[in-house]
Structure 1
Amino acid sequence: MTLVPNSNLVDERGAPENPDVAKALVMAELVRIVEEGAAVIATLESGTIELRLATGEVFHLGDKVVTRIA
């Protein structure tokens, strides 16, 4: 699966300097992937947000980090 930006919020100079803007862009892309049916996001009993891609990869989404589980 290839992530393709569908927004022009980031210009050719690179990623946004504000971490909140960068996080919002990443979350918007994840929502798009879920809406297309290529992933599922769930909150585990521990409160951890888990992203499961249709290709089998599993990620835990933290406030400032994304951890690949499988």
Structure 2
Amino acid sequence: MSTADTTNKARLPRDERRALLLSAALEVFTVAGYHSAAMDEIADRANVSKPVLYQHFPSKLDLYLAV
């Protein structure tokens, strides 16, 4: 991995990352609805890995309720 690869993904503070995840989730839930929304899509839209999303929200229901 080059230095450029590691510097492009700056670690955000937890509160900022959470806000980013909530924003991405709101977009996906609005377009797809709860049942069709996928955690993969939300993670992709927030530009994070799925494990990072699950660190903040253990389930889709938890994420939906937070939105």
Q: TM-score range by the shorter chain?
A: 0.3 to 0.5
Query: Is the strand fraction higher in 1 or 2?
Result: 1
TM-score normalised according to structure 1 size: 0.39
TM-score normalised according to structure 2 size: 0.41
Structure number with the bigger relative contact order (C-alpha 8 A, sep ≥ 6) is: 2
